[in-house]
Amino acid sequence: MGRFRGGRAIRWYAKPIPILAAIALWEALAQSGLIPPHALPPFSSIAANFAEEAITGRMAIHLQYSLIRFGAGFLVAASIGVPLGILIGWHGTLRQLIEPFVELLRPIPPIAWIPISLLWFGIGLTSKAFIVFIGALFPILLNTIFGVVSVERVLLEAAMTLGAVKEATLIRKVVIPAAMPSILTGLKVGLGVGWMCIVAAEMVAANFGLGYMIIEARWIHDLPLVITYMLAISLVAYSIDFGFRIAEGRILRWRA
Amino acid sequence: MKGDPIITVRGLRKAFPTNGGELVAIDGLSFEVREGWITAIVGPNGCGKTTLLRILAGLEEPTGGSVEIDGNPIRGPGADRGMVFQEFALFPWRTVLGNVKFGLEVKGVPKDEAEAAAMRFIELVGLKGFEGRYPRELSSGMKQKVAFARALVNDPRVVLMDEPFASLDAQTRNLMQEELLRIWEATGKTILFVTHSVDEAIFLSDEVIVLTQRPARVKKIFNIDLPRPRDRTSLRFNELRRLVLKELSEELRAANGAAY
């Protein structure tokens, strides 16, 4: 039955238990020599590496670079994707004209844009932010369009009979709030995809950034350092998602 | 003035285009809605009752004939005609207060004033204390009260109600009918509602308009002169019921005859 009911809710302190158990197993396997250190170094050496990178401030520098590139790309994607999605979702004719473009551009992996991005924007911030932009744009755009298209007709009609007859009023007072759950889903997916993209973008033509450090550590055959920065990428993504979910819960209080 | 026509429908025709033809929902329909009255429209299922209401609300355009409110042709929706939808159509992201004040907010009424007015109507429909709740936290009966208050707050010339009690269980339905009468007496609003329940039509209305099967025309208009509060078990009530049902069942039989 658990499969159908999602199981019993576990207590908060039970949640880290599987992770801690996995770490313990990892440590035991590495220490016993069952797994050679050149394949997977023990967790303790990763932890020591992590601490050192954090304390010396090196990680903070790389983190800062990654976050700025990511933030710039994501903000542009959100500020184009949401309004454009509302416009496309609202106007049926426009949707039919634009959808072919979206459907053709969407399957191109963001990473495939790296060469063109370097050509267009050089090796600075812009070319990396552009990759994030491409990665984040489509989930934001498509979810926003979906949200607007799915607004119940009767809600629009109800608003009109209450005097909201201007298009701008309908969009502001009905379409946007009704589509908000989808818009937020789009932003949430966009955050995740965008973050993955920045790491990929930094693996080419970069001198700083979390992604750059993974490639750099590989060149110097420092596997613990590779894993340290993989861990950092994961923790940042987790924190961003965690923060976003809290904000989402507040905004969508009416749904619960 | 009470009893004067507010809405005038003359020779109304509504046809919907279909594959290679058209479906005529309404043809040659004429009647009036009188100020301060409760008017019920009953007719066989699918006879175009809802379409008629939507035309009066301005959500559909007539194909022919005229629909006027206070002598002005109806062009599109407007706050002078409040509508209570069958499924209530509350805004789920707004609280009760937020839903009720919507019309005033759109009109640009200052926030304090709009909320004070909305609160008066929330109190009128008996939902004081629930103003901070979201629609998902309300029962069907409460949702309907919110929808009614939301329409009333705009001070419309007429309130249009589409099968207002259809989605309520039998007990809530009788209770809500009495609530409707209480609020009607308190506000003096003109109400036009469609229903397929003859009992409901006679219990509530000053006038019952029976429509024919599609395409809808007026089959017969009944004046319900029973004093309120009405007793559903009284002799006169049941006599009226029989008369209205007779008209209606003729249409139902004709509709079924056509279908089989």
Q: What is the CATH number of the domain that holds B11?
A: 3.40.50.300
pLDDT for B2 = 85
Identify the CATH number of the domain defined by range A43-243.
Answer: 1.10.3720.10
Q: Give me the domain span that covers residue B95.
A: 86-155
State mean pLDDT over A160-165.
96
Residue A256 has pLDDT above 80, yes or no: no
Are residue B76 and residue B196 in the same domain, yes or no? yes
pLDDT for B68 = 97
Average pLDDT score, chain A? 93
CA A127 from chain centre, in angstroms, equals 18
Helix (H) or strand (E) segment spanning residue B42: strand B38-42
User: pLDDT tens digits, residue range A25-39?
Assistant: 999 999 998 888 888
Query: What is the bridge-based pairing of β-strands B207-211 and B38-42?
Result: parallel
Query: How would you label A194-226 residue by residue, b for 16+ Cβ within 10 Å and e otherwise?
Result: bbbbbbbbbbbebebbbbbbbebbeeeeebbbb
Q: Which of residues 41-100 of B touch A (CB under 8 A)?
A: 57-59, 76-79, 81-83, 85, 87, 89-95
The verdict on residue B51 lying in a domain is yes
Are residue B52 and residue B163 in the same domain, yes or no? yes
Q: Which two tokens stand for residue A119?
A: 């050509």
Is the complex ipTM more than 0.90? yes
Are residue B142 and residue B202 in the same domain, yes or no? no
- Determine the Cα–Cα distance for residues B150 and B137; give it in Å rounded to an integer: 17
Average pLDDT score, chain B? 93
User: pLDDT tens digits, residue range A88-136?
Assistant: 999 999 999 998 999 999 999 999 999 999 999 998 899 999 999 999 9
pLDDT for B45 = 82
Nearest CB neighbour to B79, from listed A157, A158, A162: A162
Is the Cβ of B13 closer than 8 Å to some Cβ of chain A? no
Q: What percent of chain B has pLDDT over 70?
A: 98
DSSP single-letter state for residue A112: G
Cross-chain Cβ contact A158/B89 below 8 Å: yes
**Per the structure, how many domains does chain B have?**
2
pLDDT for A7 = 73
Residue A193 has pLDDT above 60, yes or no: yes
pLDDT for A1 = 46
The verdict on residue B178 lying in a domain is no
pLDDT for A204 = 85
